[in-house]
Structure 1
Amino acid sequence: MKITQIDAIPFAIPYRKPLKFASGEVRVAEHVLVRVHTDDGIIGVAEAPPRPFTYGETQRGIVAVIDEVFTPQIVGLTLLEREVVHARLDRTVGNPTAKSAVDMAIWDALGQTLGFSVTELLGGYTDRMRVSHMLGFAGPAEMVAEAERMRESYGISTFKVKVGRRPVDLDIAVVRALRESFGADIDLYIDGNRGWTAAESARAMRQMADLGLLYAEELCPADDVLGRRWLVQQLDIPFIADESVPTPADVTREVLAGAATAISIKTARTGFTVSQRVHHLAEGLGLDVVMGNQIDGQVGTAATLAFGAAYARTSRQAGELSNFLDMTDDLLTTPLQITDGCLHRLPGTGLGVAIDPDKLSRYRTDH
């Protein structure tokens, strides 16, 4: 079970249409496939999606830090020395998705070695999750049409609506159009990606008070310390902290400050090892948890599902597991399938995913 090699392979797959939100937009999945090799011939895999407008990472930066910094510190350790790996990765500031991909690839390799799925290794609560689909910026008619397509094609009935535009009324019109079109047949929550001020957020929430929203997520910046606390105190639905809580310490600060009442866990930024810490902290604090999406491809989505299905708390809510559908292709030999609004854990050990070598060769950008 000794780690002998780590690969960081950049690849690029276009999206069918730009995905737009308050903090940026994504047109191409310029991600990094991370592979951890062992002396038993096992290869664990994970996906690192750089989001420079959120975490400051780039595709080239992820490859460089894995090749030049992390690999020399990790090669020679065993798959069981995950806490040693975590401590060594933690010496380097930042780089959350690079660290997380290395961590998850190690867990995938461990599951394959021991003959268990990652979900079973983590907790084994269930084998599936309900799916929430993220709707990016567009007009009311276009967003309603996309939601209808997701309902008809995949049975999805929970939607996360990206907001945070100005004027505020535009986003309010979109959310209202969705509710009026589908009534109580769908669940809705909103995500501002820090795009509004606290005052704009409060006004928008007052105008949407009759729409039965499940959550409001990152409507205004966490750096607006007093404004955010003032906003959260007014709300009668949970306020999700997402990009403001990348570590357990950040979760503690935001919750104790009254700036959040729920959290989003994204394995793309906390891997499995740190996500466990965040989950257990949320459990101790009694927080709602949503499994978030980093606009992952299918490898990253399989990782989110593996963690979310492992625990009762994370599987309670629909997880953001469908945005790989917006990509024109992917890397897996057997694609993920959403049926009846659910995504089932892939059979097999580890994450259960297998990389198609021809597709990897076609889309990798380091030739």
Structure 2
Amino acid sequence: MKITAVEAIPYAIPYAKPLKFASGEIHVAQHVLVRVHTDDGVVGVADAPPRPMTYGETQAGVVAVIDTIFAPAVVGLGLMEREEIQSRLNRTVANPVAKASLDMAIWDAMGKTMGYQVTELLGGYTDRMRVSHMLGFDSPAAMVTEAERMRDTYGITTFKVKVGRRPYTLDTAVVRALREELGDGIELYVDANRGWSASESARAMKEMADLGLTFAEELNPADDVLGRRWLVQQLDVPFIADESVSTAAEVTREVLGGSATAISIKTSRTGFTQSRRVHHLAEGLGLEVVMGNQIDTQLGSICTVAFGAAFELTSRRAGELSNFLDMSDDLLAEPLEIHDGELTIRPGAGLGVEIDPDKLSHYRQD
């Protein structure tokens, strides 16, 4: 169970439907496939989705830090030496996506070696999650049409609506149209990706007060410390911290500082090891938790559901698991399928997925 090699393979797959939001837009998945090899001949895999507008990482940067720093640090260690691996990775600051992908590939390899699913190794609570779909910027009519398609085709009834434009009435009109056209049978929450000021956020939420929103996420920047606390005190729905809680310590800071009342866990930035720590902290603090999406591929989405299904707390809410539907293709040999609004973990050890070698050869950029 010793790690013998780590690969970081850059690849690019266009989105059939780009996702647009307050902090940027994504037209091509310029990601990195991470593979961990062991002396038993096992290969663990995970996906790294760099988001320079959020964490400052780029595709080239992820490849470089894995090849030059992280791979030399972990080669020779055993898969079970998770704390030592974390200690060595944490000698380098930041780089959350690169660290997370390596961590998840190690868990996949560990599951394959031991003959257990990653979900079983983590907690084994259930084998599925309800799916929430993210709706990016568009006209009210177009966003209603997309939501209806997701409901009618895949059975999805929970939607995270991207907001944060100016004037804020552009977005409140969208949310109102979604509620009026789709009715009370759907669940709606909003995510501004830090796009509004505290006062704009307060006015927008007041305007949407009658629409039955479940959550509000990152309406304004976390570094607007006083404004954020002032805003959270006014809201009658949980305020989700996302980009501002990329570590367990940041969860503690935001919650105890009065700047959040719920959190989003994204395995693409905290892997399985750090996500578990964040989960246990949230459980102890009594926080609401949603499993977030970093505009993930199918591999990224299966990592999210593998973690979310492992625990009762993270499986309560619909997870953001469907944006791979907007991609033109994917690397998995057997595509994921959403049925009746749910995504299940894959049978088989580890993550239960295999990479299609022909697709990887076609899309890789090295």
TM-score, normalised to structure 1's length? 0.99
Distance apart, 1:185 and its partner CA: 1.0
State the match for 1:74 in structure 2.
Answer: 74
State the match for 2:164 in structure 1.
Answer: 164
**Cα deviation code 1:69-117 (max 9, x no counterpart):** 0011100000000111100000001100000000000000000000000
Deviating above 4 A after TM superposition, structure 1's stretches of 4 or more consecutive aligned residues are none
- Structure 1 Cα separation of the partners of residues 365 and 119 of structure 2: 31
- 1:328 matched to 2:340: no
Distance apart, 1:257 and its partner CA: 0.6
Q: Tell me the SS of whatever aligns to 1:133.
A: strand
AA of the residue aligned to 1:176: R
**Cα deviation code 1:246-286 (max 9, x no counterpart):** 00000000000110000000000000000000000000000
**Cα deviation code 1:44-80 (max 9, x no counterpart):** 0000000000000000000000000001110000000
- Structure 1 Cα separation of the partners of residues 149 and 17 of structure 2: 15
AA of the residue aligned to 2:57: E
**Cα deviation code 1:320-347 (max 9, x no counterpart):** 0000000000001110000000001111
- Structure 1 Cα separation of the partners of residues 275 and 87 of structure 2: 15
Distance apart, 1:18 and its partner CA: 1.8
- 1:43 matched to 2:43: yes
AA of the residue aligned to 1:277: R
TM-score, normalised to structure 2's length? 1.00
AA of the residue aligned to 1:278: V
**Cα deviation code 1:11-59 (max 9, x no counterpart):** 0000012210000000000000000000000000000000000000000
State the match for 1:309 in structure 2.
Answer: 309
Structure 1 residues 346-361: aligned runs within 5 Å = 346-361=346-361
AA of the residue aligned to 2:310: A
- Structure 1 Cα separation of the partners of residues 17 and 316 of structure 2: 31
Q: What are structure 1's unaligned runs of at least 5 residues? A: none
Distance apart, 1:307 and its partner CA: 0.2
AA of the residue aligned to 2:225: V
Q: Tell me the SS of whatever aligns to 2:88.
A: helix
- Structure 2 Cα separation of the partners of residues 257 and 77 of structure 1: 39
AA of the residue aligned to 1:129: M
State the match for 2:225 in structure 1.
Answer: 225
State the match for 1:128 in structure 2.
Answer: 128
Structure 1 residues 1-367: aligned runs within 5 Å = 1-366=1-366
AA of the residue aligned to 1:337: E
- Structure 1 Cα separation of the partners of residues 10 and 90 of structure 2: 23
- Number of residues paired by the alignment? 366
- Structure 1 Cα separation of the partners of residues 229 and 320 of structure 2: 26
Distance apart, 1:311 and its partner CA: 0.1
Q: Tell me the SS of whatever aligns to 1:338.
A: coil
- Structure 2 Cα separation of the partners of residues 127 and 317 of structure 1: 14
- Structure 1 Cα separation of the partners of residues 272 and 344 of structure 2: 19
Q: Tell me the SS of whatever aligns to 1:339.
A: coil
Q: Tell me the SS of whatever aligns to 1:277.
A: helix
- Structure 1 Cα separation of the partners of residues 101 and 86 of structure 2: 12
- Structure 1 Cα separation of the partners of residues 228 and 70 of structure 2: 36
Distance apart, 1:174 and its partner CA: 0.1
Q: What are structure 2's unaligned runs of at least 5 residues? A: none
RMSD between aligned residues: 0.4
Distance apart, 1:240 and its partner CA: 0.1
AA of the residue aligned to 1:34: V
**Cα deviation code 1:98-143 (max 9, x no counterpart):** 0000000000000000000000000000000000000000010000
- Structure 1 Cα separation of the partners of residues 128 and 308 of structure 2: 9
AA of the residue aligned to 1:142: A
